[in-house]
Structure 1
Amino acid sequence: MVMMNWLFDTRTECFSVQTNMLVGDYLALVQNAYAQKGALSGQRDALKTTTAKRIRDRMVSDIRRGAVLPPVVLGAVVSEEIFEKYPMDDRASVDDAVPAEFLSQLSIIDGMQRTTALMEAADVDSSVRQKTMRVEFWLTKTVSAMVYRMLVLNTGQVPWSLSRQLSVIYAPLLAEVQSRVPNIGRIHTPDKPGRRVAPGEYASDALVELYIAFNLRKTTVDTKEALSDEFSRLDFVENVSDERFQSHFYNALIMLVNLDRVFSLYEGISSGRFSKGRNIFDGQPSRIGFIAAVAQYVIGRPGMDRPVNEREMRMHQLIDQSAAFTDKLSRFTPQQLGDFLRLDVLSETLDKRVGQVGRYERSLFFEAFQVLISEKFDVGSLEPCWRAL
């Protein structure tokens, strides 16, 4: 009987479970996740340098000769119901610990190169599949705990970009967004692409970028390059270590979607980029601007973090103020809503000839929504917001 060794991490409220598996069973488990998501759960690609290839070739040779590799670490976000069953007894299997419906969210936290070597070894020598290997599972019920586990306890790796680290928990983050933000519409993913045709609809990568922006409290979020700013990494770690932080992000997203929906009640009568209310949040600059403005108001500027209790108070204030604001706008006639939105002023402001248009637009929307927040959502129109920069 294969034993499963359970340890509870009280810091992140995760279970660490180490067990032995046949290599063939492990590869089948990983392949299932690969088929579900189109990639090995966001892990960095197998290294392709000459040195790395030579080392992996040696690893393949050693595996065939019976070498025991260090444990591969997998992560999974499971439901509250499953989590309550942990720790399981010695007779439990991997299938019991991670039911099939959660395998699509399985993540390779540590061990991409070993997995690649195991695949190569199994391809040239089928007997490898019958060898035994060690596998460690990190099982949690929250996305934030998984992020914290990755950022703090898994730093001795070839550096990832922050977006690459988040892509590992990409699926569970989106699943949690859909369950915690009830007013959100369709989420377009690479597997299910689509075009935004209604308020509340966003691309999956746009939501990940909003998550990063909320953490870093910045509008300039580079999701393609390696994160070189160690202070940004520290800010991110500090935020996800607060168990209430994740709910703050979801509340900010709820406010964004509510604004998106109420602005969209104005259908417009003209043509152009900002001819109707939905156009305000059609682009990522406005969404980033709003999310970053909320984050700075609630959490504080980078390097000036507010106490946890003050964060709670400020978030509740914003929720109440924005709810009253959207309720008021929902009762406007189309003419009144059009007059309030002042899309002509927004179009004129954004029509300026400037370099780095994307950066300029994010800054403009950030300043605009800072005005809206500082005025407690009590403005006669959005003109003072659009003219803030």
Structure 2
Amino acid sequence: MTTMTVRDYLDLASAAHAAQGGLSGQRGVMATTTAKRIRDRMVEDLKKGATLPPVVIGAVLAPDDFSALRPLSSGASLDFLPEDRSNLSIIDGMQRTAALQEAYADQPKIGESKVRVEFWLTDNVRAMIYRMLILNTGQVPWTISRQLSVVYAPLLAEIVERVPDIDKVSTPDQPGRRVGPAQYSSDALVELYIAFSLRKTGVDTKEALSDEFSRLDFVDNLANEGFQEQFYGVLSMLSQLDKAFSRYDGEDGFPGGRFIFDRQPARIGFIVALGIAILGRPGADRSQAERTARIQQLEQSAHDLIYRLANLDASHLRDFLKTDVLEELLDKRVGQVGRYERGVFADAFKVLIEENFAVKNLEQCWRAG
């Protein structure tokens, strides 16, 4: 924890704001009448010299930089922070930052006032998520998705670094649509992260974090040092299969192989099926040794299937994928399409896993439900 001038703090925070748009998933500046009146009062108090509670800034550092950290004294250099200040997150203090910006714009001399800043530093994304889920849970109405979005940039950066099989990640700041395999949106990846941990296809990322069992499952997984690696391993399997399936372009009314993982329900179903196979069912979690052995076995089985598909010509790949059967199943008129599709794919990939990826073709998977 240290102190700095309001001007220096706003320079620090504005870099993150400009790059991440709304401070990467933080609660926006509240617009209700009551909130505006409270903020106006805060601005007036700041002009009179009021001191605010500390603002909390989060940063994920490189392991070498983290191990070289020294105690920080008041007014010390901020050289320990990443050069790209856009990767910082305002964990606590969005409303105070907005009030400081407004007061400074109206009365520039406030820039010389002091503000206390707490830096929460870590060398891995897991610890930052812990900071949000465990230490901020009293801040209602946070949702799982919103709390995770606070570490959006570091989590996505780590995914890009640790899962080279993913070719492209689109974000709100760098939008783009999926035009090839292994291309996913940042929102989709965050949802996959939640689904893998909770092992549920029906996770609603918009619901408040009120389910105590979901919270406990998430906390237990965060405490497991192998959890992140296992998630990245599953993402890698997803991306590799996405590319292998996409070798078939489609013909004569048969959808192409990319059709399978073009849909988020298919990715969710795959991730959840593997999550259960590796981590165990919620409430019956496997030990770390069992998880490691299970994912190694599944990675080998998936690799064997991918190698087998690489040696198939277009017609044989079409016969294996059976995308016509899948399309017919998905064309059913049902009330809740998203839930229905997630169920189809979860059942399908459960069969694929039970058969150790050694299926004759995917029809038995598509018809499993």
TM-score normalised over the length of structure 1: 0.91
Count of residue correspondences: 369
Q: What are the within-5 Å matches in structure 2 for residues 1-389 of structure 1?
A: 18-87=1-70, 90=73, 93-101=76-84, 103-271=85-253, 275-389=255-369
Determine helix, strand or coil for the equivalent of 2:121. Answer: strand
Q: Structure 1, residues 270-319: CA drift from partner, whole Å, max 9, x if none?
A: 34xx6111111111010010001111111122222222221111111111
Are the counterparts in 1 of residues 19 and 173 from structure 2 also a CA contact under 8 Å? Answer: no
| Higher mean C-alpha displacement, 343-352 vs 369-378 | 343-352
Aligned letter for 2:19? Answer: Q
1:8 — aligned with what?
A: none
Aligned letter for 1:182? Answer: P
1:9 — aligned with what?
A: none
Shift of 1:62: 2.3
Measured in 1, the distance between the counterparts of 2:245 and 2:76 equals: 51
Aligned letter for 1:302? Answer: P
Aligned letter for 2:265? Answer: P
Q: Structure 1, residues 216-239: CA drift from partner, whole Å, max 9, x if none?
A: 111112123323322212211211
Measured in 2, the distance between the counterparts of 1:381 and 1:52 equals: 58
Are the counterparts in 2 of residues 83 and 141 from structure 1 also a CA contact under 8 Å? Answer: yes
Measured in 2, the distance between the counterparts of 1:291 and 1:334 equals: 27
Aligned letter for 2:307? Answer: D
Measured in 2, the distance between the counterparts of 1:89 and 1:281 equals: 48
Are the counterparts in 2 of residues 41 and 106 from structure 1 also a CA contact under 8 Å? Answer: no
- Sequence identity of aligned pairs in percent? 58
Determine helix, strand or coil for the equivalent of 2:79. Answer: helix
Measured in 1, the distance between the counterparts of 2:212 and 2:252 equals: 47
Q: 1:113/1:213 Cα in 2 relative to 1: closer, same or farther (>3 Å)? A: same
Shift of 1:32: 0.8
Determine helix, strand or coil for the equivalent of 1:196. Answer: coil
| Higher mean C-alpha displacement, 250-259 vs 335-344 | 335-344
Determine helix, strand or coil for the equivalent of 1:100. Answer: coil
Measured in 2, the distance between the counterparts of 1:90 and 1:229 equals: 41
Q: Structure 1, residues 108-137: CA drift from partner, whole Å, max 9, x if none?
A: 111112112212221222111100111011
Are the counterparts in 1 of residues 168 and 183 from structure 2 also a CA contact under 8 Å? Answer: yes
Measured in 2, the distance between the counterparts of 1:174 and 1:93 equals: 30
Measured in 2, the distance between the counterparts of 1:208 and 1:296 equals: 18
Determine helix, strand or coil for the equivalent of 2:274. Answer: helix
Are the counterparts in 2 of residues 88 and 97 from structure 1 also a CA contact under 8 Å? Answer: no
Q: 1:171/1:290 Cα in 2 relative to 1: closer, same or farther (>3 Å)? A: same
Q: Structure 1, residues 316-346: CA drift from partner, whole Å, max 9, x if none?
A: 1111111111111111122211111111221
Shift of 1:107: 0.5
Are the counterparts in 1 of residues 132 and 148 from structure 2 also a CA contact under 8 Å? Answer: no
Q: Which runs of 5+ in 1 are unaligned?
A: 1-17
Measured in 1, the distance between the counterparts of 2:146 and 2:55 equals: 19
Are the counterparts in 1 of residues 3 and 74 from structure 2 also a CA contact under 8 Å? Answer: no
Q: Structure 1, residues 334-376: CA drift from partner, whole Å, max 9, x if none?
A: 2211111111221222222211111101100000000000111
Determine helix, strand or coil for the equivalent of 1:225. Answer: coil
Shift of 1:257: 0.4
Aligned letter for 1:329? Answer: L
Are the counterparts in 1 of residues 4 and 75 from structure 2 also a CA contact under 8 Å? Answer: no
TM-score normalised over the length of structure 2: 0.95
Aligned letter for 1:224? Answer: K
Determine helix, strand or coil for the equivalent of 1:95. Answer: coil
Aligned letter for 2:287? Answer: P
Measured in 2, the distance between the counterparts of 1:270 and 1:319 equals: 33
Aligned letter for 1:133? Answer: V
Q: Structure 1, residues 136-195: CA drift from partner, whole Å, max 9, x if none?
A: 111112111100111111222132111111111111111111100011111112222222
Determine helix, strand or coil for the equivalent of 2:115. Answer: strand
Determine helix, strand or coil for the equivalent of 2:341. Answer: helix
| Higher mean C-alpha displacement, 58-67 vs 120-129 | 58-67
